[in-house]
A and B are shown apart, each in its own frame.
Chain A
Amino acid sequence: MRTIQFREALREALNEEMRRDDRVFLLGEEVAEYNGAYKVSQGMLDEFGPKRVIDTPIAELGFAGIAVGAAMNGLRPIVEFMTFNFSLVGIDPIINSAAKMLSMSGGQFGCPIVFRGPTGSAGQLGAQHSQAFENWYANTPGLKVVVPSDPYEAKGLLKSAIRDDNPVIFMESEQMYGDKGEVPEEEYLLPIGVAHVKKVGTDVTIVSFGKMMKIAMGAAAQLEKDNINAEVIDLRSVRPIDYNTIIESVKKTNRLVIVEEAWPLASISSEIAYMIQNQAFDYLDAPVKRVNTLDVPLGYAPTFVEAFLPSIKRTIDAVKSAMYI
């Protein structure tokens, strides 16, 4: 199979869906003439023209709101945030409008819209540029939150997100745009809300999503050397969360470790840990363990970045602690 970059997989999804449905359009900072801050939308202005690939001023509150209004009135906007750190400037129309429009209007006004862009840390970028808000958005009923982990996932999930009639938050990673992976030439879609068992195993379940899947898989590979056979689950979306796949896995492995790039309090990991103790208590042979970022704003120095992020080592330690070894 051919291999393409993560950014190319996203671009293919955008292009295919824009060709398929002329209600779909892309807007955001630097998406058109500059071809995207991270080159996801390269060439799209040439193909679709300035009506459908729109450069905005730096005005997240304004353009997120304008996109929500357009979605209420029959279009299907894709909003690119240069990073999700900046989505906070425009979070009001997402939470207060997009997420509850269908409900507030008694089912009359839907809001088919995608907000996409990179999330999480990308090296020494300092505290304001290193944040992960997956759980913030996932906390809000009315939104779906998708976090792809490789090019194949990115393409299939983005196509589904664009076709979804609900508002979807789609979170990528600056550090993954250059990653390569196999992506079929033929069209395919991946369903939102179905987790993917990426590695079958028997001894412990490792659950993760997005960029952290690399850590989860890396840890699983190293654990093999110690004869520990981990099952690794890629959540793909953190709203909805496919609890069943996790529960079924825990019934088999009896141990659970969650790896998440986010602060620990009220995070996706705490949510999953709650649900597993509630639904699969009798199957657990050890407390659920998690590997999160440290509970602090991420400072610039390399020493901080290294300590802050989930790592293969911390994941292996968590697995071993869950296995009492």
Chain B
Amino acid sequence: MVVKESKYKKEQYTEWFNAMLMMRRFEEKSAQLYGQQKIKGFCHLYIGQEAVVAGTMSAIEKDDRIITAYRDHAHALGCGITAKAVMAELYGKSTGCSKGKGGSMHLFSKEHNFFGGHGIVGGQIPLGAGMALADQYRGGKQITVCYMGDGAVRQGSLHEAFNMAMLWKLPVIFVCENNGYAMGTSVERTTNMLDIYKIGLAYDMPSKEVDGMTVETVHEAMSEAAKHCRDGSGPVFLEIKTYRYRGHSMSDPAKYRSKEEVDEYKLQDPLEKVRNILVSKKHLSEKDIEDIETRIENEINESVEFAENSSYPDQSEIYSDVYVENDYPFITQ
């Protein structure tokens, strides 16, 4: 096999590999724990889509802002929130990144500029534009990356936000993670306009389609978009084509698609691609890779142990954080 010359160095591939492997193993563990009823409620896994977050994080700055929907574990990890804080949140423990108040769908970390996982489809799209407005208002250099699904782009909120973001040249990258399905509904069944990126063109927003199964292409598109935003040229819309290997949530048997289709995508697995490059270019030895695997496995096991040993928030906490005041007069009769 001829290995193409690549413009990325060993360090970059290793970083991507670490990041994506962490997301993958974390989600596999989450699935297992959900099966054991340690994690409750709705739980949406990111397996298959890892290149989108990994390729974003390598292309933006630490103080840039991130907001997404409920499929948010990988985004949280990608922002640098520890596996411990995320896992504890999935358990609903007080040591979680949202103090056990958010759960799987509502991970947050102000410290890491992660503005949250949001549960109302499309609800986060205008919020992302607003975060960008705040940075523009203050004259900051930060940009916002606002993720949404292929289902979410059909919400009116997108159109209103796109128009204003263009009108006011807001520094926001809107990213549609097109994984082909919104729950059981394929993109084809809800629109005539299959090329989602073209929605942005209606507002003259720079928009394009990106291969999301390859971390390098995501990184390149993101870098370019980030530069555009940071230069004050306004928003960008990227339709990143990806795929989720699991059902919509843990309760979805995913009968609406064939096993062949899923297998087809698994052949282009973004994580395996990076692993192959690392090995074939001799960036890392099998032993190095094994060490990374072990380290990540340990980190995840520690996160589970941490979550297990943490306590649930006390019932008295139910009234905290609802208002800024500590003495807000709640109705209790």
Contacts and interface: CB of A to CB of B under 8 A. Distances in A.
28 contacts: A33-B189, A34-B185, A55-B185, A57-B154, A57-B185, A58-B152, A58-B182, A59-B154, A59-B155, A61-B156, A86-B120, A124-B40, A125-B41, A126-B103, A126-B119, A128-B106, A129-B42, A263-B331, A294-B319, A295-B332, A296-B330, A297-B322, A300-B89, A300-B106, A303-B92, A303-B100, A304-B318, A307-B318
A129 B318 CA distance: 17
Interface of B: 40-42, 89, 92-94, 98, 100-106, 118-123, 151-152, 154-157, 182-185, 189-191, 256, 312-315, 317-319, 322, 330-333
B155 A303 contact: no
A89 B155 contact: yes
A126 B318 contact: no
Interface in A92-131: 123-129
Contacts of B106: 126-128, 300
Name which of A58, A62, A86, A129 has the most chain B CB atoms within 10 A of its CB. A58
A56 B40 CA distance: 28
A263 B318 CA distance: 14
Residues of A in contact with B, size category: 35 or more
A304 B101 contact: yes
A202 to B, nearest CB: 26
Contacts of B332: 294-295
Given A61-B156, A126-B106, 7 more contacts: A57-B190, A124-B41, A294-B319, A295-B330, A299-B103, A304-B100, A304-B317
Interface in A280-312: 290, 294-297, 299-304, 306-308
A189 to B, nearest CB: 33
Contacts of A140: none
Contacts of B89: 300
A307 B312 CA distance: 13
Contact of B318 (A30, A55, A124, A294): A294
A34 B256 contact: yes
A296 B318 contact: yes
A265 interface: yes
Interface residues of B, dominant DSSP: loop
Contacts of A89: 120, 122-123, 155, 157
Interface of A: 29-30, 33-34, 37, 55-62, 85-86, 88-89, 123-129, 263-265, 290, 294-297, 299-304, 306-308
Given A59-B154, A301-B93, A307 B184 contact: no
Given A57-B154, A295-B330, A304 B183 contact: no
B101 A55 contact: no
Contacts of B155: 58-61, 89
A301 B190 contact: no
Contacts of A61: 155-156
A22 to B, nearest CB: 24
Given A123-B41, A124-B40, A129-B42, A58 B189 contact: no
B318 A299 contact: yes
Name which of B103, B182, B332 has the most chain A CB atoms within 10 A of its CB. B103
A85 B120 contact: yes
A273 to B, nearest CB: 10
Contact of A303 (B40, B103, B182, B315): B315
Counting from the closest, the 10 A-B pairs by CB-CB distance are: A300-B103, A299-B101, A57-B154, A34-B184, A301-B92, A57-B190, A128-B119, A301-B100, A124-B41, A124-B40
